[in-house]
Amino acid sequence: MQLRECKNIEMKRDMDLVRDLLLHVESDPLLDGTHWLHADTPSELGITGHSADEVGYHVNLLGEAGFLRIMGMETIPAISKLTWEGHEFLDNIRDQGIWSKTKERIKGLPSVAIAVVAEIAKAEIKAKLGLP
């Protein structure tokens, strides 16, 4: 048996990074559940301006939320695919206009649960479609 020490990384959830990661995983044809991508750097996931620790932290969060299928204890865990829940959330925040309006509505709050972000995005989609 091997005991590994966990890094204690304290950081805030970055919803733009969450969105960028989900968009990248969805667009990568290798991430269809038949492979595991072991990214060593954020750029391998199409991410710039964030450290490997930040990206790894967010990949772990997305795995815990059930949005990504992940595996491993590397700085950036291996990713296999976007889950149903991941697709559902991404479909709500994919459109840049909807995403901008959603972020505008939550900008005055110190933090917002991902379920609330999804609900705000749904409300913005309904408004765009002229639905009540």
Q: Which CATH architecture has domain 15-83?
A: Orthogonal Bundle (1.10)
Across the strands, what pairs with 82?
A: 68
CA 132 to chain centre: 28
Each domain of the chain, given as residue ranges in start order, spans 15-83, 88-129
What pLDDT does residue 110 have? 87
What pLDDT does residue 89 have? 96
Question: Which tens digits make up the pLDDT trace of 108-122?
Answer: 888 899 999 999 999
Question: Dihedral of CA 20/83/123/109: which sign?
Answer: negative
